[in-house]
Amino acid sequence: MGKSKLLFVTHEMSPFLELTKIAEITRQLPQAMQDKGYEIRILMPRFGNINERRNRLHEVIRLSGMNIIIDDNDNPLIIKVASIPAARMQVYFLDNEEYFQRKHVFADKDGKFYADNDERMIFFCKGALETVKKLGWAPDIIHCHGWMSALVPAYLKTSYKDDPTFKHSKIVYSIYENDLKDNMGAAFANKAVMSNMTEKHVEPYGNGSIPALYAGAIHYSDGIVLGDANIDADVLNNVKNSNKSVLEFESTSDFENYYNFYDEITNDELVHVA
């Protein structure tokens, strides 16, 4: 048997983009798991404030050229890659001129939430899965971090459930403090639906508020990581009632616990990790 394959999907990672504590976790955890023997891939958006020259990003021609359909519109997907030499890890960046080439990340210079954040999120989640398919790399575990990756679990358990690339993939979702107070808008559910899905499949995501996005991700994931000490009480209650395997926040400081948690998830031993 070859190495187990572990995919990280995140909207930020140090040193490329540092917005919250997620950036440091998604930098350190993959390296720790690589040291444990996992084969690692990392996917994130190529936001406009990520310096391509400084970070030595370059386009991967064989992966680029796909179109991601959102609301009947074709959106070109460009894939770029950078390496972290000290860790021997490659990070793949999903780029699109309309969605990501901006000076700011989720809100404009006046702090106003971008009206198309719903489409940017959908583009990223769909694009991430299509990129992995094109890589021809079947992950054993997919670990999603933050609200922007929250649709990945739903897509994996519906549209992609019979796809050979993802047929045996287990999904872990990390929940953090709610740092955004806006929601994805009234059209979010309709836009989020893709092939082999109906609006019923996205009902768990409610109105697209951050707690609702977390609720949807919890519903479709195989395991949940509490990545923060300050998580919304309703979200915590949702986790408790989900009967999913959970890695408590107190255990996340030791990466050995992640390793054991991944092993538990892949072996379908759904017991609570204290």
Question: Is there a domain that residue 274 lies in?
Answer: no
What span, in angstroms and rounded, lies between the C-alpha atoms of 237 and 248? 13
At 84 the pLDDT is 85
Question: Is there a domain that residue 271 lies in?
Answer: no
Question: Is there a domain that residue 16 lies in?
Answer: yes
What span, in angstroms and rounded, lies between the C-alpha atoms of 165 and 156? 10
CA angle, corner 39, sides to 34 and 41, nearest 5? Answer: 95
Backbone angles phi, psi at 225, to 5 degrees: -110, 130
Question: Is there a domain that residue 25 lies in?
Answer: yes
Question: Is there a domain that residue 272 lies in?
Answer: no
Question: Is there a domain that residue 177 lies in?
Answer: yes
Q: Which domain holds residue 77?
A: 5-266
At 131 the pLDDT is 95
**For residue 152, what is the enclosing H or E element?**
helix 152-157
At 194 the pLDDT is 84
**For residue 135, what is the enclosing H or E element?**
helix 117-135
What span, in angstroms and rounded, lies between the C-alpha atoms of 164 and 90? 23
Task: Please tell me the total count of domains within the chain.
Answer: 1
pLDDT band at 2 (very low <50, low <70, confident <90, very high): low
Question: Is there a domain that residue 104 lies in?
Answer: yes
Question: Is there a domain that residue 226 lies in?
Answer: yes
Give me the CATH number covering residue 129. Answer: 3.40.50.2000
Mean pLDDT of the chain: 90
pLDDT in tens, 132-172: 999 999 999 999 999 999 999 999 999 999 999 999 999 99
- Greater model confidence, 52 or 92: 92
